[in-house]
Chain A
Amino acid sequence: MATRIHGDQPRAAQQPAAGSQANVGSQAAAAPPDVQPLPEVLERIRHDSRRDSRQYLDESAVPFGGE
């Protein structure tokens, strides 16, 4: 066995050509109609991060950690 990666796609004997199709980290082809642009999302995050931040940190504490 050449590799322990058992792919879902049909096997290829050679490395694909540079211009071949590949589902590599593709962005969503069509965004839903009610999406917010990046500046609005950033503003929402900025606003939320300043609200009750200490309380959030306390609520998300994990006493003694894990494995």
Chain B
Amino acid sequence: MGLETEYAIRYQECQTAPGVRPTRFELYQRLIHALRRKLPVVPARHFKDGVFTATGGAVWFETERPAAGSGLIEGATPECRGPREVLRYQRAQDRLVSEAAAEADAAVPFTLLKNDRDAFDNVYGAQENYEVTLASGWRLGVWRAGMLLLIPLALLTWIGFLLLTGLMVVYLILAGMFYVLLQPLLRQPQRLALALFGEDFVHGRDMGCITPRWLESVVQVVTRVLTVPLAVGLWGLAWCCAFVPQRRDMLAFLISRALLSGAGMVDRQGQFLLADKAPAMNCVLGYGGLFGDRPILTLGHFFKALSADAWFSPTEFRDVMRPRQRLQIGLGDSNMAEVAEYLRVGTTLLVLDALEAGALNGAPRLRRPLAALQTICRDTTLTAQLRLVDGTRMTALDLQRTYLDACRRYLNQQSDVPHDAWHVLRLWDETLEQLEEAAADPRSGAALLGRIDWVTKRYLLQQAGESADWASRKKIDIRYHELSSEGYYQLLADNGLTSTIVDDEEIERSLRLPPANTPATMRGHYIREFSQGDQALAVNWKTVLIGQGRHARLIRLSDYRPPDGPGGRRHAKA
């Protein structure tokens, strides 16, 4: 499993050149430059701009509209094998990127925010990834047959992308000729250049995009039109047979999980909600923004595999056929509190275990899941009754208790349960009890301060006073998540007012070494061994490429086996 976090960039004007703001891509490049001084880093073998670090994780520049100035820093933890481990690597990543941002360029101070929504309702943030069984039996057969049937659509999409790329090249050539002809006749040729070529070319700035804004908008619309057939086909196939038990039996858990891991949010009307991202969710299954969709479960990685990755590496297509696949959850918030983050991941792992063991039969099913999610987010009393498909009603606390009890029964029947699993279960139970007490008497919520983000944030908002205007309250909402000594959660933590799960020594170790017994172990090993040498090295989640051209060696990390596993370690050559 692993976590992805999109960090917002907060920056002020350039002190040496007032009125000039560096682009987000430039800040990302400066952050990577600072990162290289801290640990070994290599370029990523990927469409996106990014690097992999010696701990096996990655840092990317995530953007939808680079020419329009959009962009986030995205961090991805290495593959981990438990909630405590992923918490260590997430906290190490937070520290790494925030220190790199602080050291990046003193003339342009910028900080990172670990949150999910800005003051203008632009949504981004956290994704969780768990390896689960996508389908079995006849459903797996339908999935595989469907994937084969989607090949022609994928091929058409790829041809469409190639044609679009060709048209852009033709445009740039014609635009260049047009500019050369007209430039001597114009008093302000720079304006024409800006319209034709964009800011990268005219101002010598690096926005990560070689087109003007208007052309970027046109390309985005055309791209979306080109992808519609494949996207609809894949979505229909997934709806029929992908993650069916998870959608049926754990959706109520995921929706009510906001009680534990919601980050809290002040909306435009000044109302406080339990979660930051959840109110933006508009479907159960989707692509994560491709068509304005904000799904609880994301299919974007399947779409990318079909529409792009598979054409460079046919093994990607073979991998999509496997029964075990990545379940990506887009519903959760980025957490500042360690207890909240630990519970978000740990409880989900337990529920997945119980589900795959058949121990969640009869799990509650919400009649209208998305409406229930909105109700839960707006109910700070935690008493709202939610209707189930069988006609009964439960509160969000009741739903969480149901899953907790099912997981406890499941663990009690097992003979080889790690200590961490009991730890998660006990902390889950304890936290629900404290939430129940707080719901009955709001004054008793002190036990959750510094442990649950929405409770802590709501407390800070209450302390801000009645005279605080919306902007001040929204600043509390957002600056709570700032990864600097001035961030409000960090202020609480620096003064011993928050709870911890992992200690500094664990985080320090996670800043240097990858997790054991995962693909990250080998990835980190190769990065550490080869990043400073003469041979070129490029890495992605599945492969390591050493050298260039005919003599390059391709090592598949899926061939990695733990030292005590069957088959030993095998390396494949290009």
User: Do residues A2 and B417 form an inter-chain contact, with CB atoms below 8 A?
Assistant: yes
Interface pair A67/B289, CB less than 8 Å apart: yes
**Stretch of B222-230, B368-376, B470-478, B564-572 with 4 or more beta carbons under 8 angstroms from chain A:** B470-478
B70→A62 contact, CB < 8 A: yes
Tell me whether A5 and B479 are in contact (CB under 8 A): no
Residues in chain B near residue A56, CB distance under 8 A: 10, 475, 478-479
Q: Report the minimal beta-carbon distance from A10 to chain B, rounded to whole angstroms.
A: 6
Smallest CB–CB gap between B112 and chain A, Å? 10
Complex interface residues of chain A between 35 and 60 (CB less than 8 A to chain B): 35-38, 41-42, 44-46, 48-50, 53-54, 56-60
List chain B residues, Cβ under 8 A from A4.
1, 81, 130-131, 349, 352-353
Q: Chain A 10-34 against B: per-residue CB contact (8 Å), 1 yes, 0 no? A: 1111011000001111111001100
Whether the Cβ atoms of B500 and A28 lie closer than 8 Å is: yes
Which of B95-103, B184-192, B459-467 interfaces with chain A?
A: B459-467
The reply to whether B350 and A3 contact each other, CB–CB distance below 8 Å, is yes
Q: In the bound complex, what is the Cα–Cα distance between A23 and B469 (angstroms)? A: 40
A13 touches B416 (CB 8 A): yes
Report the nearest B residue to A52, measured CB to CB.
Answer: B475
What is the distance, in angstroms, from B243's C-beta to the closest C-beta of chain A? 16
B121 (CB) vs chain A CBs: closest residue: A65
B464-495 CB mask vs A (1 if < 8 Å, else 0) is 11001101111110110000001010011011
Chain B residues with Cβ below 8 Å from A35 are 494-496
Q: Are B426 and A24 in contact (CB under 8 A)?
A: yes
In the assembled complex, which residues on chain A have CB atoms less than 8 Å from the CB atom of B422?
12, 15-16
Question: How many residues does chain B have at the interface if contact means C-beta atoms less than 8 Å apart?
Answer: 86
Tell me the nearest residue of chain A to B425, going by C-beta: A15
Separation of A48 and B413 alpha carbons in the complex (Å): 52
Are B464 and A49 in contact (CB-based, < 8 A)? yes
Chain A residue nearest to B123 in the complex (CB): A65
Q: Tell me which residues across on chain B come within 8 A of A45, comparing CB atoms.
A: 460, 463-464, 476, 488, 491
Cα–Cα, bound, A32→B469 (Å):
34
Task: State the CA gap A27–B419 with chains docked (Å).
Answer: 21
- CB pair B500–A41 under 8 Å, yes or no, is no
Contact with A along B284-308 (1 / 0, CB 8 A): 0000110000000000100000000
A48: chain B residues at CB < 8 Å are 475, 479, 486
Q: Which residues in chain B, 399-442, are within 8 Å of chain A measured between CB atoms?
A: 411-412, 414-427, 430
Q: How far is the CA of A63 from the CA of B213 in the complex (A)?
A: 13
Please measure, in the bound complex, the distance between the C-alpha atom of A63 and the C-alpha atom of B63, giving whole angstroms. 10
Cα-based distance from A16 to B517 in the complex (angstroms): 27
The contact of A42 among B85, B339, B426, B460, by CB within 8 Å, is B460
Mask: chain B, 497-540; 1 = CB below 8 Å from A; 0 = not: 10111000000000000000100000000000000000000000
The reply to whether A31 and B496 form a contact with Cβ atoms under 8 Å apart is: yes
Asked if B6 CB lies within 8 Å of chain A CBs, one says: yes
B415 pairs with A13, CB closer than 8 A: yes
Q: B62 in the interface, Cβ–Cβ < 8 Å?
A: yes
Check: B83 CB closer than 8 A to any chain A CB.
Answer: yes
Instruction: Closest B residue to A58 by CB, please name it.
Output: B119
Q: Are A7 and B119 in contact (CB under 8 A)?
A: no
Known: A49-B475, A66-B125. A5 touches B62 (CB 8 A): no
Tell whether B68 is near chain A: CB-to-CB under 8 Å.
yes
> Which chain A residue shows the least CB distance to B460?
A45
Chain A residue nearest to B450 (CB atoms) is A27
The reply to whether the CB of B43 lies closer than 8 angstroms to some CB of chain A is no
Q: How far is the CA of A50 from the CA of B419 in the complex (A)?
A: 46
Is B8 touching A60 in the complex (CB atoms < 8 A)? yes
Taking A5-B424, A25-B451, A44-B491 as given, write out 10 further A-B residue pairs in contact, using a Cβ cutoff of 8 Å, ordered by the A residue number. Answer: A2-B418, A3-B418, A4-B131, A6-B420, A8-B82, A27-B499, A57-B471, A60-B119, A62-B122, A66-B289
Measured CB to CB, the residues of A under 8 A from B are 1-13, 15-16, 22-28, 31-32, 35-38, 41-42, 44-46, 48-50, 53-54, 56-67
Mind listing 14 A-B residue pairs with CB under 8 Å? A2-B414, A4-B130, A4-B349, A9-B419, A12-B417, A15-B422, A24-B426, A26-B499, A31-B495, A35-B495, A45-B463, A60-B113, A62-B122, A65-B122
